[in-house]
Amino acid sequence: MQPIPIVGVLALQGDYESHARALEQVNAQPKMVRTAAELEQVDGLIIPGGESTTFLKLLEREGLFAPLEKFARTRPTFGTCAGCILLAKRVTHPEQESLGVLDATVERNAYGRQIDSQIVTGETSLPGGPLEMVFIRAPRLTELGSGVEVLATRDHYPVLVRQNNILAATFHPELSHAGSVTERDSPDDLGLNPDRRVHQYFAQMVFDASQQVKNSGSSTEPRRVQILAAERE
């Protein structure tokens, strides 16, 4: 028996519902986050893909930019595609504002237009062999600070990285499936076994962080909704 932390999914735009389903598949408890009050109710957060400039406008409109920056500096935060752009310290092509919590430079739309999007398989240090990666108008991590660990690459460029409590991917792990995929309109109806290693990795980051809070005796207790018997690799 072990406690299950609540993992928030920023639900302002992007495919946040697919991230929520992926979290459920790795025995995590997802919670949609749209306000600063809801952000305070989660132990970790996923910032999904979308359009990064639109994200910035929505964050400002909802009064979420400053609370999100504060959260991401100390709590487990995972950004995918546009979420990766928002986390980086430096954004190019063109330059734009960001949360500045990941010591990296990211180039927007580095692989061309949406028509140039593709599915590739790349090397990863995660257990289980090569990782399927879905790139949709993807950014590229062009520079990394010395404290950033590379977990997966594409054409020698990092595509999945970690820096302390921050995880970032330039692809869409919520769309990854084990095996060949030719039709992705309804991936949950394909009868395939989804590849959830990236979400499992982040769920473990959130669990480990919540345990550290508990063991330190901090007054900030992890927010848990239930205790389940959960299998973790």
Is 172 designated active site?
yes
User: Rounded to the nearest 5°, which phi and psi values hold at 226?
Assistant: -165, 165
Look at the block and give the residue holding tokens 């970790």.
44
State the alpha helices, DSSP H only, in the chain: 16-25, 36-39, 52-61, 65-72, 82-87, 197-216
Is 81 designated active site?
yes
Ordered DSSP codes for 124-191: BSSTTSSEEEEESS--EEEEE-TTPEEEEEETTEEEEEEETTEEEESS-GGG-BSS--S--SSGGGS-
User: Rounded to the nearest 5°, which phi and psi values hold at 214?
Assistant: -65, -45
Burial class (CB in 10 A: 0-12, 13-18, 19+), 91: buried
pLDDT tens-digit series, residues 24-65 = 999 999 999 999 999 999 999 999 999 989 999 999 999 999
Q: Could you give the CA distance from residue 122 to residue 49 in angstroms, rounded to a whole number?
A: 20
8 Å CB contact between 42 and 223: yes
Burial class (CB in 10 A: 0-12, 13-18, 19+), 216: exposed
Per-residue pLDDT of the chain (233 residues; tens, 9 = 90+): 466 889 999 999 999 999 999 999 999 999 999 999 999 999 999 999 999 899 999 999 999 999 999 999 999 999 999 999 999 999 998 899 999 999 999 999 877 665 457 889 989 999 999 999 999 889 999 999 999 999 999 988 999 999 999 999 999 999 987 543 333 444 444 446 789 999 999 999 999 998 887 777 654 455 543 333 333 33
Residues 19, 172, 177, 199: which is the catalytic one?
A: 172
Six token digits for residue 108:
């927007």
Query: Within 10 Å of residue 118's Cβ, how many Cβ atoms?
Result: 12
Q: What is the pLDDT of residue 227?
A: 32
Is 132 designated active site?
no
Residues 19, 84, 107, 174: which is the catalytic one?
A: 174
Among candidate residues 135, 149, 68, the one with its CA nearest the CA of residue 103: 149
Q: Could you give the CA distance from residue 73 to residue 127 in angstroms, rounded to a whole number?
A: 27
**Where do the domains of the chain lie, and which CATH numbers do they carry?**
2-228 (3.40.50.880)
pLDDT tens-digit series, residues 205-226 = 999 998 887 777 654 455 543 3
Within 13 Å of residue 194, how many CA atoms lie on the same side as its CB? Answer: 24
Residues 81, 107, 177, 199: which is the catalytic one?
A: 81
Residue 188: strand, helix, or coil: helix
